[in-house]
Amino acid sequence: MKKQNMKMETAVIHQGYDSKVHHDSLATPLYQTSTFSFSNAEEGENRFAGNSEGNIYSRLGNPTVRVLEERMKEIEFGEGALAFGSGMAAVSAILVYLTKAGDHVLCSRGIYGCTFGLLEIMQEKYGITHSLVSMTTEEEIEQAIQPETVCIFLETPINPTMELVNLEAVVAVASRRGIQVVVDNTFSSPYLQNPICMGADFVLHSATKYLNGHGDVVGGILVGKDKEEIAQLRKTVQKDMGGIMSPFDAWLLLRGLKTLHVRMDRHVANAKKILAFLQKERSVKKIFYPFDPSHPQYDIAVKQMREGGGLISFEVEGGKKEAQAFMNALSLIKIAVSLGDAETLIQHPASMTHAAVPKKERDKMGISDSLVRLSVGLEHTDDLISDLAQAFEKAKLELQEI
């Protein structure tokens, strides 16, 4: 395992920034500029040729964005990082970078809805195929690999069922076959899981979620364990497809990131208290949380994650009607997609984030109509639990009256 220069708690605050070269400014300055001027034509020529260090144009690099990239590189144990305008811009950049017409991408049994949408476009337009399989053992993964497979793209825990992928098994098979492994680490954040330390080649994040943590930025991050590959990505797909992060969003992210460890500790502590409450609630049929000892892959969870995270999915007794009545009865907890914010959010995957997945597929993935997903925020758990309790009660009474 690669050793960090600093502990993560220190790196999220200091890494990649030197105040001495920024007029002693404590906070990272916001370089809100599209372009940079050269002192003469030769300097411009040299920068373009890569013979002299320096900025050219913000799509090719911006000092505020660079600080964020340096920081992310460190906390995900990589050798290089790139910031994008959204999580999906990071997903599309790495998939375009790794594939060509005729290739195959092997995916975990669940992947983010838009990642699935992108893979469908790639299949239709460029003949790049994909398949979704369970990845708990090496045998399962071996069997799913095709001669055309160039990369394994996975999420763990999988949204919203919290099913886990066995990272050790994936990396073992991939390295035997010479296949690259890409992990969407959005759900865990770098604080709870570091796939590069386990042998993954690339890690990506929707920075919109825990990294920023304040629900006011859409962004993406890609970290790689090979410096040259990240440099290549920067010079090619990132520059030419252009899905870069704005300096202002990088500035907000640097601000949000400083408290990642503090926030994650509280998200986890709150999630554990809510889990204990839900386990006793009679209107709850089934709970999905990685660090719940009754989780079918609890052994994998404790091996590859430091804690179970801030997301809990659960099925309410009944079906869609009961789930929606419960959600409507909440008052403090907001009905919204996205996750990782200070506010506790609840959503109904079957009709929202996974509505585009055909019902038959949803059933196979374990996404029933009674399933809701809770992103536990940073409020006091007494307030959250009393909101949940009154909503279960209110929904029950309302449905009895009908």
Ligand X SMILES: *Cc1c(COP(=O)(O)O)cnc(C)c1O
Q: How far is the CB of 177 from ligand X (least distance, A)?
A: 25
Q: Which residues are tagged catalytic?
A: 59, 112, 184, 209
Residue span binding ligand X (CB under 6 A) among the ranges 50-58, 80-88, 227-235, 393-401: 80-88
Binding ligand X by CB under 6 A: which of 58, 64, 159, 375? Answer: 159
Residue span binding ligand X (CB under 6 A) among the ranges 11-19, 42-50, 204-212, 362-370: 204-212
Does residue number 76 form part of the binding site for ligand X (CB under 6 A)? no
Q: How far is the CB of 340 from ligand X (least distance, A)?
A: 8
**Nearest to ligand X of 87, 318 (CB atom):** 87
Q: How far is the CB of 248 from ligand X (least distance, A)?
A: 16
* Whole-number Å distance between alpha carbons of 73 and 65: 12
* Whole-number Å distance between alpha carbons of 152 and 342: 32
**Nearest to ligand X of 38, 116 (CB atom):** 116
Pairing of strands 311-316, 334-335: unpaired
**Nearest to ligand X of 69, 155 (CB atom):** 155
Q: Which residue is nearest to ligand X (CB)?
A: 87
Does residue number 88 form part of the binding site for ligand X (CB under 6 A)? yes
Please return the burial class of 100, using the count of CB atoms within 10 Å of its CB with bins 0-12, 13-18 and 19+: exposed
Which residues from 100-139 bind ligand X, rule CB under 6 A?
A: 112
Residue span binding ligand X (CB under 6 A) among the ranges 60-68, 167-175, 203-211, 284-292: 203-211
Binding ligand X by CB under 6 A: which of 184, 322, 341, 369? Answer: 184
Q: How far is the CB of 63 from ligand X (least distance, A)?
A: 23
Binding ligand X by CB under 6 A: which of 74, 155, 307, 315? Answer: 155
Q: How many residues bind ligand X (CB under 6 A)?
A: 14
Does residue number 206 form part of the binding site for ligand X (CB under 6 A)? yes
Does residue number 189 form part of the binding site for ligand X (CB under 6 A)? no
Residue span binding ligand X (CB under 6 A) among the ranges 144-152, 182-190, 307-315, 343-351: 182-190
Residue ranges that bind ligand X, judged by CB under 6 A: 86-88, 112, 155, 159, 184, 186-187, 206, 208-209, 218, 220
